[in-house]
Structures are given as structure tokens and as C-alpha cells.
């Protein structure tokens, strides 16, 4: 014995936020008055109710209760069919309790919201942002996206162009914007943009944002270029001055230092004549600048030897013109022969001979010898100046320079006799005075010997000798 329960409708439909009812009939099959307690189980239990929840039924009688389903308008109650069960429990006859099952179809709805995140995008050529789409409804909705701007200078790209947003979820849609017009310099431009969202149910939403388009070139670039150009010009002016380690000595520029610390200008152009060239004194009278022949006395010019008419001319010597025939007329076009001297005429007086010159005065000369040695060659490499015949050179000091900072050994020699030795690694510019004036006669050699021990390259020290040259 017990109770029989029957639902008027086992399947009902209801929209979220609304309510629907159905009846349940209870029949007491027992022999005593019984109290029946009703409650709802299943997915719809949270938003379903039954009235009355407890009813007394006489034996053989019926009673009616009402079920009410009121799902809230919230994403917490997804749309779709929700199963429920009505449990009827008898107080007197507990074994006679029954359960009736049914379902409730909850309708779906969409509640959309859209926002550009971030609202401000920035880019000279392209800009990126995202569209946040929120579905506060309980069912999925299909949405499409379009973009526009007032100026028409922005192209929009959506990936994807269409998507489905489930109820109670949020989706971020990437948005790419490309600028149609660009500019190099100037103030940034502000471009208002708007993204429209169209749902499958026909509803539309608009989300507004801003795109800031800066110039292609940054604002600080012109000023930076100005400072860079000014710096380059300054470096071009200062670098040669800072890194020029050439010695600034009067001796190296061609002057001869005197004991008082001053400088005398060398005769002529200051260039060192090649070995074997005669030394000239610009203050000497004409005729004294010619070098005296070896074995001549007093510096007088040497008379050329008379030619032997029977001896043939030496090879390479100019041919002697033939004697002219007095009876033979001159050839046409030849220069006229001067008339022969008259033997009866007295000879014309010859000009007086100049007096024989006295001893030659010494002249100042800067003798510059640049030593050269290849790194790793081993021994000394020499450069020399040989004193010519009839010359005497006196040297009291030497100026040494090592402009390249070479590493090795430098020696100053007279013939094979070493006068001075210096370590090139410790030499930059030095003036060395000899204790006594050194004299070089004809045939002697002023030698600059260099041995290079640099790791690479060539050693090129320079020796400058302020000298007094006397020509006999």
C-alpha cells in the first residue's frame, strides 16, 4: 500500500528569468490517513519548488500539488534540457514512497558587451590591439566584426572575422590596423576608430578607441644628427693635432741650432746635396764655387790639356771640327768664318787676371740620413754619406728622431768606429752633443746603422747632423 503520483506534464519549457508550473496528482492507496512529503531533486532542484510540500490524504482520496520552475536570468544556468525528479514520501507507509521524473527546457539568451583593450593603440605604420567580447548570457552566440574610422586612413584586419562566444565566457579577438598615409616628421596624429560587433540574433554593439600615429622619424633624430655632425667636424679638427707625434724640432725642419739656443737658416733650400756633389758658398765670388781638380793648387781653375792633332779622339769625346781651308769658300748656309788676324797688327791687350782666391770659408749644411731596417733581418743595415774629394766635414752634434716608435738599436759611426749607440725603444727625440768636434776628411763615411727588432714592419729612425763643410 502507498501512494500513486502522476505529473500532468513531464516535459516543460521555460525562458531564463521566467517561471512555469505543472501539477502532480497524489492518490492514497492505503487504508489509513497518510501524510505525504514532496521535494524536487536533480539539475532543476535549485530553482524548482512544490506547493504544498506536505499534504494529508485520506484513504482512497486524491490531492493535487503544484511544481514551479523559475530559472534565474544568469549565465550560471546554461540553456538546454535539465532533468528533475519529484520525490513523494509517505509518512505511514515509507515503503510506498514514489519518484516521478521529468525535464525542463531552459531557453537561452545573449547578453553581450565589447571593449577595445587597450583603448589607445600606437604605431607609425601598423598598430595592434584586442577586442574583448563578454557574453553574460547563458547560451552561445555567433558574432562578426567590422572596423571603421572617420578619416578612412586605417585598414582593419580581424583574425578570425567571425567567432562563437559561449555563455558566461570572454574572448579576446586580435585586431590589426594598417595606416594608409604616413609622414616623416611633425606632430603625432590622433585617429578615432570604432569596431562594430554584430550578433547572430541581430543585436549590434560598437566599441570606440583611438590610434596615435607618430611620424616615421623620431622627434629627437634631427637634433641628434646635428650633434653628430658637429662631433665629426670637431674630431676631424682635433684628431690630427692629438695623434700627431712627429717631433716639432727646429733641427728637423732644416734649421741649425747654435750654442745660444737659436737656429740658423741653412744655405740654399736646406736640402742635403747628393754624395759627390760639390758644395757651393753663395757668398763666394764667381769661380770659387767650381771644385778644384785633384792635385791643383790654390783653388785656381785647371787648364784643359791641348789636343794632339795626330792622336785620335777618345771614344765618347766630341769630334774635333776640321780646320777650315782659306782658299775654299764656305758651304752655303754655314756661318761666316771670322777674318784671320793681321800679323802686322799689335795684339789686343788681354783683361787682367783676377787674384787667386784665399782659403774657402766653411758652409753650414744639414746632413740628414734616414736609417732603414726590416724587422727580423738580423744584423745592422747601414746608410752612409761619403765625404767627397777636397771636402772636410766637421760635426759637433746630432739630432735623433724615432717618429714611428720603432724597436731596435741605432748606431752612429765614423767609418767602422762607433761614436754613439741608442736603444730605439727608449728614443723619441734627442739632441746629442759630442764632447769634441768630429772631423771627416775626404773618403771618410758618416754611417747610420740600424738593427730592427720590432714584431712587424720597418724601422726608420732619422739622424740629422748640423755640419760645417769646407771645400778646398
222 pLDDT tier (thresholds 50, 70, 90) = confident
**Per-residue b/e over 290-306, b at no fewer than 16 CB within 10 Å?**
ebbeeeeeebeeeeeee
- Look at residue 340 and tell me whether its pLDDT is greater than 70: no
pLDDT digits (tens, 9 = 90+) for 349-359: 666 666 556 56
Closest by Cα among 177, 85, 70 to 123: 177
* pLDDT computed for residue 289 by the predictor: 43
Q: Which residues contact 187 (CB under 8 A, 6 or more apart)?
A: 215
Residue 277 has a pLDDT of 47
pLDDT in tens, 45-76: 999 999 998 998 888 888 999 999 999 998 88
pLDDT of 254 above 90: no
CA 410/CA 450 separation, integer angstroms: 5
Question: Given pLDDT bands bounded at 50, 70 and 90, which one contains residue 269?
Answer: very low
Return d(Cα 5, Cα 27) in angstroms, integer. Answer: 7
Averaged pLDDT, 105-131: 89
- What pLDDT was estimated at residue 213? 84
- β 11-15/34-42 pair status: unpaired
Contact 424, 457 (CB under 8 A): no
- DSSP letters, 16-29, are TT--EEEEEEEEE-
The model's pLDDT over 271-310, given as tens digits with 9 standing for 90+, comes to: 444 455 445 444 444 444 444 334 333 444 444 444 444 4
* Least confident piece of the model among 86-95, 238-247, 391-400, 419-428: 238-247
Q: In the prediction, which pLDDT does 472 show?
A: 77
Tens-place pLDDT, residues 407-443? 889 999 999 899 999 998 889 889 999 999 999 999 9
Mean pLDDT of the chain: 78
Q: Is the pLDDT of residue 184 over 90?
A: no
Q: Could you tell me the maximum CA-CA distance found in the chain, to the nearest angstrom?
A: 204
**Which residue has better confidence, 301 or 103?**
103
Q: What is the mean pLDDT of residues 110-116?
A: 89
Distance CA 397, CA 423 (A): 18
DSSP-assigned letter for residue 235: H
Average pLDDT of the residues in 119-127: 88
d(CA 412, CA 421): 6
431, burial (CB in 10 Å: exposed 0-12, middle 13-18, buried 19+):
middle
Q: Dihedral through CA 269, CA 272, CA 276, CA 277, nearest 10? A: 0
CA distance 325 to 403: 70
C-alpha cell at 87: 520525490
**Measuring CA to CA, which residue among 433, 465, 463 is closest to residue 448?**
463
Percent of the chain exceeding pLDDT 90 equals 30
Q: Give residue for cell 585586431.
A: 175
Residue 145's CB is within 10 A of a number of other CB atoms, namely 21
CA distance 210 to 448: 82
pTM (two decimals): 0.42
Q: What pLDDT is attached to residue 315?
A: 47
Ramachandran region of residue 168, left (φ > 0), alpha (ψ -120 to 50) or beta?
Answer: left
Q: Is 330's pLDDT higher than 60?
A: no
Selected residue with higher pLDDT from 370 and 455? 370
Amino acid at each position: 500500500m502507498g501512494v500513486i503520483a502522476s505529473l500532468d506534464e513531464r516535459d516543460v519549457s521555460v525562458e531564463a528569468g521566467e517561471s512555469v508550473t505543472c501539477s502532480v496528482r497524489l492518490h492514497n492507496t492505503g487504508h489509513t490517513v497518510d501524510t505525504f512529503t514532496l521535494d524536487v531533486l536533480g539539475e532543476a532542484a535549485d530553482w524548482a519548488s512544490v506547493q504544498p510540500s506536505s499534504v494529508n490524504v485520506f484513504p482512497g482520496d486524491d490531492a493535487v500539488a503544484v511544481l514551479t520552475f523559475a530559472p534565474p536570468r544568469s549565465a550560471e544556468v546554461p540553456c538546454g534540457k535539465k532533468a528533475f525528479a519529484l520525490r513523494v514520501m509517505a509518512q505511514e507507509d515509507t515503503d510506498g514512497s514514489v519518484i516521478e521524473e521529468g525535464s525542463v527546457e531552459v531557453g537561452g539568451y545573449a547578453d553581450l558587451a565589447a571593449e577595445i583593450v587597450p583603448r589607445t593603440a600606437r604605431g607609425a605604420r601598423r598598430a595592434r590591439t584586442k577586442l574583448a567580447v563578454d557574453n553574460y548570457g547563458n547560451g552561445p552566440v555567433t558574432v562578426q566584426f567590422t572596423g571603421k574610422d572617420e578619416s578612412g586612413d586605417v585598414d582593419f584586419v580581424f583574425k578570425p572575422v567571425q567567432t562563437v562566444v559561449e555563455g558566461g565566457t570572454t574572448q579576446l579577438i586580435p585586431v590589426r590596423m594598417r595606416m594608409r598615409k604616413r609622414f616623416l616628421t611633425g606632430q603625432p596624429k590622433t585617429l578615432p576608430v570604432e569596431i562594430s560587433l554584430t550578433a547572430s540574433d541581430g543585436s549590434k554593439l560598437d566599441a570606440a578607441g583611438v590610434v596615435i600615429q607618430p611620424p616615421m622619424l623620431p622627434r629627437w633624430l634631427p637634433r641628434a644628427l646635428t650633434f653628430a655632425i658637429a662631433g665629426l667636424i670637431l674630431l676631424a679638427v682635433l684628431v690630427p693635432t692629438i695623434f700627431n707625434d712627429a717631433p716639432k724640432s727646429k733641427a728637423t725642419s732644416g734649421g741649425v741650432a747654435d750654442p745660444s739656443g737659436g737656429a740658423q737658416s741653412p744655405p740654399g733650400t736646406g736640402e742635403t746635396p747628393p754624395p759627390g756633389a760639390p758644395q757651393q758658398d753663395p757668398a763666394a765670388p764667381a769661380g770659387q764655387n767650381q771644385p778644384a781638380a785633384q792635385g791643383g793648387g790654390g783653388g785656381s781653375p785647371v787648364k784643359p790639356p791641348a789636343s794632339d792633332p795626330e792622336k785620335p779622339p777618345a771614344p765618347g769625346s766630341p769630334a774635333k771640327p776640321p780646320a777650315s781651308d782659306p782658299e775654299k769658300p764656305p758651304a752655303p748656309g754655314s756661318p761666316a768664318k771670322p777674318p784671320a788676324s793681321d800679323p802686322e797688327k799689335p795684339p789686343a791687350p788681354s783683361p787682367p787676371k783676377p787674384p787667386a782666391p784665399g782659403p774657402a770659408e766653411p758652409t753650414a749644411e744639414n746632413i740628414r740620413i734616414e736609417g732603414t731596417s726590416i724587422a727580423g733581418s738580423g744584423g745592422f743595415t747601414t746608410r752612409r754619406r761619403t765625404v767627397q774629394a777636397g771636402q772636410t766635414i766637421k760635426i759637433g752634434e746630432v739630432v735623433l728622431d724615432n717618429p714611428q716608435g720603432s724597436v731596435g738599436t741605432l748606431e752612429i759611426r765614423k767609418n767602422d768606429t762607433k761614436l754613439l749607440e741608442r736603444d730605439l725603444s727608449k728614443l723619441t727625440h734627442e739632441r746629442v752633443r759630442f764632447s769634441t768636434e768630429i772631423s771627416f776628411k775626404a773618403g771618410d763615411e758618416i754611417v747610420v746603422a740600424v738593427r730592427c727588432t720590432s714584431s712587424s714592419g720597418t724601422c726608420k729612425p732619422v739622424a740629422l747632423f748640423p755640419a760645417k763643410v769646407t771645400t778646398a
